[in-house]
Amino acid sequence: MKLFLLPLLLFSCQFHTIAQEKTEEFRIGWPPEYDWKVVSQKDDSIQMSTWIIPGNENVNTASIIGVMRLMKAVQFADSEETLNFYRSHIDSGTVLTVLDKQDSAVHRWVLFKVETPKTNKYPEAESDLYFVIQGEYGVFESYVAIKEASLSRQFVKKWTKILKSGELTKQ
């Protein structure tokens, strides 16, 4: 049974400001061949997140996980501050590699990968490709995760195109 599919496979995180009645949203067109289903959604005063997996898989054995998160009211001054935030949250043995960044854009963004090998602490390897973009009302984080010690060049190329094609809008 499918938990929940959104029309046109466009998932988004939204943040509503009460005083201004404006909405900011980041949307990604997730590839339809995965027949995505939502397995987790959270919305509280700190963050909003949506986790998706292929429709024919379960959360414990998913071959790929897609995540969209909004860190509400978070503002980073530039891409280095953004990267330092993420670097401060990784364990030893995990490698964060910056792939691309843009500080001069209206909405600053950074693309990076995080690769964690199998260790005593982590019985399964995991690698993630992140696209983080600064909005006016918070930071939008989108990433894909797989259970591999590293990301192949082909994986990075495919998912970079998908993640960077997302649209940040304000209404």
pLDDT digits (tens, 9 = 90+) for 50-59: 999 999 999 8
Stretch 69-92: mean pLDDT:
92
Range of the domain at 40: 7-170
Stretch 76-104: mean pLDDT:
92
Tokens of 66: 């897609």
Residue 3 has pLDDT above 60, yes or no: no
Full-model pTM: 0.88
Stretch 129-147: mean pLDDT:
95
Query: What is the Cα–Cα distance from 105 to 110, expressed in whole angstroms?
Result: 11
Residue 99 counted as domain residue: yes
By C-alpha distance, which of 108, 124, 107, 115 is closest to 152? 115
Counted domains in the chain: 1
- Mean pLDDT for all residues in the chain: 87
State residue 4's pLDDT score.
40
Residue 151 has pLDDT above 50, yes or no: yes
State residue 87's pLDDT score.
94
State residue 93's pLDDT score.
86
CATH for 162: 3.40.1000.10
State residue 94's pLDDT score.
92
State residue 19's pLDDT score.
43
Burial of 159 (C-beta count, 10 Å sphere; 0-12/13-18/19+): buried
Tell me which H or E stretch contains 66.
Answer: strand 65-72
Q: How confident is the model at residue 21 (pLDDT cuts 50, 70, 90)?
A: low
Is the separation of the CB atoms in 28 and 163 below 8 Å? Answer: yes
Residue 1 counted as domain residue: no
State residue 15's pLDDT score.
52
DSSP character at residue 34: G
Q: What percent of the chain has pLDDT over 90?
A: 70
Q: How many helices (H) and strands (E) does the chain have?
A: 2, 10
Higher pLDDT, 45 or 12: 45
Burial of 32 (C-beta count, 10 Å sphere; 0-12/13-18/19+): exposed
Residue 56 counted as domain residue: yes
Residue 48 counted as domain residue: yes
Q: Which residue has the tokens 């027949």?
A: 35
Residues listed for the chain: 171
Residue 23 counted as domain residue: yes
Residue 11 has pLDDT above 80, yes or no: no
